[in-house]
């Protein structure tokens, strides 16, 4: 359990409706015990952090990622989503537990350095005989020290069954269900302070059978965990669903029991007004991935309309191979710019983007009340941004300084009160080691695949 930490003198944004210029945050035993203006109450034996010149926010929550894709960045740079996937599948089928461990270490280290304290990773490639991939990912996340929401994905619909991925990449229906159930039993921790949660996450309608979608939903609800999948990302997907199922992706998902307060969908780019209303009415969440959607030319998510309808919306980096080296903090700026490009300068504010990256993400992952705000009783996941440096120091509003321009230096990042980043450097896994492991994974996959 972490010792007491007192942050004083920072501009504290609770993301629950209050701000405290020159305020304080106190963490004891992994939770926030005091927040407010002015000096902190006396806490015997506490570590004191000078927050002057800094902005204190909740740690950022990444609601959709593919950590293994760290190894395949920069490839198929001009392809559509389907073209990019077809090319990538030829490489990804070589994944093994070591590659996953190394890409997890590199990817989570990079996320930590961008202010992220919780990351949901959608991993759906499980080649046979390549080791315990789930256990490797969980262990690597423990080395970095971030909270991991492992969305155990699956694909059972290869090309011979009309799907997009090659047959050597997919699992059988039974194998996918058994592997997912085993991951939940071995690693899911429902405790409020949990460092590892597991969700059930068949990949997408174009790579998963109807039976796997239906039985995955039943498995998740029997185990008491959440459901996740890609949906309504591209026009190609819309056309395929209408040709094959006679309906839109959202309508197909609802037919299969895939809308509800225990479900969140990645992307949600192509949604009608009626579909947004249905997503809102069912309490379904959306992971907005603006940089990836732009990189792949998928379109722009209607985040303003989703938020106005009351849909829980969080931010996601998506895979590093479709959003190269994107920091999670940078997605706040991207989300703001995308929304304003569609709907004008009042479509999304700096504080709205920050809320999407924190409290919105906590709601999407079913952790509202635990994460996402600097309020008494929540977990002490805290980001301290230095906004008094060159450039940022001429912006009087520290939240605008965080969101509108380049990401400010990260002074401190705490997960449950434990320091993971101090003055821009990792305190857990050495940054040099994370870099080396990411490079080794790249060589293992890409260079050998080209032999």
Residues of the chain with pLDDT under 70: 1, 448-451
Sign of the torsion angle spanned by Cα atoms 141, 142, 144, 146? positive
Other C-beta atoms closer than 10 Å to the C-beta of 45 total 7
What's the pTM value of the predicted model, to 2 decimals? 0.97
Helices and strands of the chain, counted as H and E runs: 16, 17
In this structure, the dihedral spanned by the alpha carbons of residues 53, 57, 63 and 66, taken in order and rounded to 10 degrees, is 30
The first and second tokens of residue 169, run together, are: 């990449």
Other C-beta atoms closer than 10 Å to the C-beta of 46 total 16
Other C-beta atoms closer than 10 Å to the C-beta of 433 total 15
Domains of the chain in start order, with CATH, are 5-58+374-426 (2.30.40.10)
**Residue 446: what pLDDT?**
85
Residue-wise pLDDT for 384-416, tens only, equals: 999 999 999 999 999 999 999 999 999 999 999
The first and second tokens of residue 192, run together, are: 């409020």
In angstroms, the CA 53 to CA 398 distance is 9
**Residue 206: what pLDDT?**
82
Within 156-283, strands assigned E span 196-202, 227-231, 263-267
| Residues 427, 433, 435: CA angle, nearest 5 degrees | 105
**Residue 447: what pLDDT?**
74
> Which H/E stretch holds residue 288?
strand 285-288
**Residue 317: what pLDDT?**
97
**Residue 451: what pLDDT?**
44
């Amino acid at each position: 359990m972490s010792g007491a930490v007192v942050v004083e003198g920072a501009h504290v944004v609770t993301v629950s409706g209050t701000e405290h210029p020159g305020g304080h945050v106190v963490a004891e035993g992994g939770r926030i015990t005091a927040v407010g203006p002015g000096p902190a109450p006396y806490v015997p034996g506490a570590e004191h952090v000078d927050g002057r010149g800094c902005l204190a926010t909740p740690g950022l929550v990444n609601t959709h990622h593919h950590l293994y894709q760290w190894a395949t960045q920069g490839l198929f740079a001009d392809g559509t989503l389907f073209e990019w996937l077809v090319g990538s599948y030829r490489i990804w089928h070589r994944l093994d537990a070591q590659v996953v461990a190394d890409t997890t270490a590199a990817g989570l280290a990079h996320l930590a350095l961008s202010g992220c304290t919780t990351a949901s990773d959608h991993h759906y490639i499980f080649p046979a005989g390549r080791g315990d991939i789930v256990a490797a990912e969980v262990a690597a996340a423990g080395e970095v020290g971030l909270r991991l929401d492992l969305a155990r994905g699956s694909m059972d619909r290869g090309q011979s069954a009309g799907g997009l991925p090659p047959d050597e990449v997919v699992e059988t229906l039974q194998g996918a269900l058994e592997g997912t159930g085993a991951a939940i039993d071995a690693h899911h921790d429902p405790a409020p302070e949990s460092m590892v949660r597991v969700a059930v996450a068949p990949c997408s309608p174009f790579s998963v059978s109807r039976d796997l979608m239906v039985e995955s939903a039943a498995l998740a609800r029997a185990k008491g965990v959440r459901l996740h999948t890609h949906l309504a990302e591209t026009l190609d997907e819309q056309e395929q669903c209408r040709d094959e199922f006679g309906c839109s992706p959202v309508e197909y998902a609802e037919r299969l029991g895939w809308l509800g307060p225990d479900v969140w969908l990645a992307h949600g780019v192509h949604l009608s007004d009626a579909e947004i209303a249905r997503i809102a009415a069912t309490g379904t969440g959306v992971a907005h991935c603006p940089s990836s959607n732009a990189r792949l030319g998928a379109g722009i998510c209607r985040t303003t309309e989703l938020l106005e309808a009351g849909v829980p919306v969080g931010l996601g980096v998506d895979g590093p191979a479709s959003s190269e080296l994107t920091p999670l903090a940078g997605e706040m700026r991207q989300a703001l710019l995308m929304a304003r490009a569609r709907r004008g300068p009042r479509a999304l504010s700096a504080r709205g983007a920050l809320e999407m990256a924190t409290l919105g993400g906590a709601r999407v992952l079913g952790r509202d009340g635990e994460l996402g705000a600097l309020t008494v009783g929540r977990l002490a996941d805290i980001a301290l941004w230095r906004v008094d440096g060159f450039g940022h120091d001429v912006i009087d509003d520290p939240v605008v300084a965080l969101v509108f321009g380049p990401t400010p230096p990260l002074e401190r990042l705490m997960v449950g009160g434990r320091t993971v980043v101090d003055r821009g450097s990792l305190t857990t896994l050495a940054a040099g080691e994370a870099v080396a492991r990411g490079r080794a994974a790249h060589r293992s996959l890409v260079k050998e695949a080209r032999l």
